[in-house]
Amino acid sequence: MGENIDRREFMRRATVTGIGASLSMAGLSSGNVLGANEKVIIGVIGTGKQGINNMEAFAKHPGVEVAAVADVYEPNLQKGLKVAGEKAQAYKDFRQILDRKDIDAVIIATPDHWHPLQTVLACQAGKDIYVEKPISHVVEEGKRMVEAARKYKRVVQVNTWQRSGIHFQKAIQLVQDGLIGKVSFVRTWNYANIYPEGIGNPPDSDPPPGLDWDFWLGPAPKVPFNWNRFGLPYDGRDRWSTFRYFWDYAGGWLGDWGVHLLDIVQWAMKVEGPNAITASGGKFYLQENSDIPDTLQATFDCPGFVCVYENRLVNENSMWGKSYGLEFHGTDGTLFVDRSGFQVYPEKRRVDNKFVDRAPSVQMESVNEAMVDHAGNFLDCIKSRQQPICDIEIGHRSTTTCLLGNIAYRGKERLVWDVSNQKLIQGSAEAKKLLSREMRAPWKLVV
């Protein structure tokens, strides 16, 4: 019979086994350390759906004041202002937030192609940063983000908030403690069925009133406005922004959801990335104007195990009945985990002509508000100057794995990656080119 563990019992065990200590990292020095009881003044850059979610998570912590919001789309700006409160100031240009000396930290919830510039500029302005994942959409810019955080001694938390989930922490502990034996294979996935129209085919058009399209594009190539590129639904449906499905701005499902999933894999398996990457797939059946495949399988060769990421957009069937998740396959059992909890399924062995479990069956439901706790960890680190639970270096490594998967898919080639030195040691000239990008003038990334 499975063992059920509640939050209090997990925290007791965590203290005994040392997992709690592993969540505290080396300190940072800073010229503007806040006292333990001082208010934290925050500016929010990007007040779309994710930016609002982040604001609401931070609002659950006492001593937080959102003093400023910025967005290039007036309707989003007004939504952000409403959530922030009457005292907040609204700006079209995020740099006006960075110029304010009273702001201690910024939340960056803009499209992926903006994250590196805004993070580096915020570091240079002396702000601590809570940045959305993926941290970048090319590898080299992620490196510059880490460099800036260290150079300017900033606390930078990446919003891979699953790391703050108690049941994710317990699942990782069980894998690392060997409960399911030696893990040789890990599977991660996102499945959906949006056949045949997908996100649709809206024509290019004029931007809607209140949108500065050129500023939204920023460092990305200049192209005509399209509702799917911008991301907000043109058909009234409630969905996440579709800019994620264009290479100019993001990395599709692997570059978005995959960061959450593979971040947990790399944490549990104690690796910083794969040594070799292959990927296959294509857009076979969806009739839409995105750049991404409707079917993808990426394989990551890591020391001692293989990890697979699968994405299907034209068939949602899953052996677990789950549209997404992770499963760790060990010699003694399999651990399945998603945001609702985890379950261990023991392998069987024959003893005296009877089959018995190799590992105990353990299960745990989600028992905390991980996004709120993740924000709280960042706020604590602003005051303590410790590195947060998902420091920018961790977020960069998890993002890089997904970016390499996309590069392997786009080039239809096998890549060999030097994890320690973060260099491509086997790959075409085109693959190496995709590790970086040319920013559109006048934008430059200078650390």
Q: What is the pLDDT of residue 86?
A: 83
User: What single-letter DSSP state applies at residue 160?
Assistant: -
The predicted-structure confidence for 69-90, as pLDDT tens digits, reads as follows 999 999 999 999 999 998 999 9
Question: Is 49 contained in some domain?
Answer: yes
Least confident of 120-124, 218-222, 314-318, 319-323: 319-323
Cis peptide before 208 (omega within 30 of 0): no
* Residue that wins the pLDDT comparison between 432 and 24: 432
Question: Is 351 contained in some domain?
Answer: no
Q: What is the pLDDT of residue 367?
A: 87
Question: Is 225 contained in some domain?
Answer: no
Q: What is the pLDDT of residue 144?
A: 98
Per-residue pLDDT, averaged over 33-41, amounts to 74
Token representation of residue 387: 């590195």
Q: What is the pLDDT of residue 36?
A: 58
Q: What is the pLDDT of residue 18?
A: 39
Counting residues of the chain whose pLDDT is more than 90, the rounded percentage is: 85
Question: Is 117 contained in some domain?
Answer: yes
Place of tokens 């998890």: 398
The predicted-structure confidence for 366-422, as pLDDT tens digits, reads as follows 988 999 999 999 999 999 999 999 999 999 999 999 999 999 999 999 999 999 999
Q: What is the pLDDT of residue 68?
A: 98
H/E element, 141: helix 139-151
Per-residue pLDDT, averaged over 229-240, amounts to 79
Question: What pTM, to 2 d.p., does this model score?
Answer: 0.92
Q: What is the pLDDT of residue 238?
A: 73
Per-residue pLDDT, averaged over 232-258, amounts to 89
Residue 80's nearest CA partner among 59, 104, 111 is: 59
Question: Is 230 contained in some domain?
Answer: no
Number of domains, the chain:
1
Quick one: the chain helix, strand, coil %, rounded to 5?
35, 25, 40
Question: Is 384 contained in some domain?
Answer: yes
Question: Is 318 contained in some domain?
Answer: no
Q: What is the pLDDT of residue 343?
A: 97
Per-residue pLDDT, averaged over 31-57, amounts to 86
In angstroms, the CA 162 to CA 264 distance is 8
The predicted-structure confidence for 258-311, as pLDDT tens digits, reads as follows 999 999 999 999 999 999 999 999 999 999 999 999 999 999 999 999 999 999
27 pLDDT above the threshold of 50: no
CA dihedral 277, 438, 125, 146 (to 10 degrees): 20
Q: What is the pLDDT of residue 354?
A: 78
Residue span of the structural domain in which 130 resides: 23-163+374-388
Place of tokens 């590196």: 116
- Yes or no: say if 151 and 447 are a contact pair by the CB < 8 Å rule: yes
120 pLDDT above the threshold of 90: yes
Confidence of residue 37 (pLDDT cuts 50, 70, 90): low
CATH code assigned at 148: 3.40.50.720
Residue 313's nearest CA partner among 259, 228, 247, 254 is: 254
H/E element, 324: strand 324-330
Within 10 angstroms of residue 36's Cβ, the number of other Cβ atoms is: 8
17 pLDDT above the threshold of 50: no
In the chain, what's the furthest Cα-to-Cα distance? 76
Q: What is the pLDDT of residue 14?
A: 43
Question: Is 59 contained in some domain?
Answer: yes
Residue 373's nearest CA partner among 389, 391, 396, 392 is: 389
With a CB cutoff of 8 Å and minimum separation 6, the contacts of 86 are none
Q: What is the pLDDT of residue 33?
A: 53
Average pLDDT, the chain: 92
Place of tokens 């970048």: 136
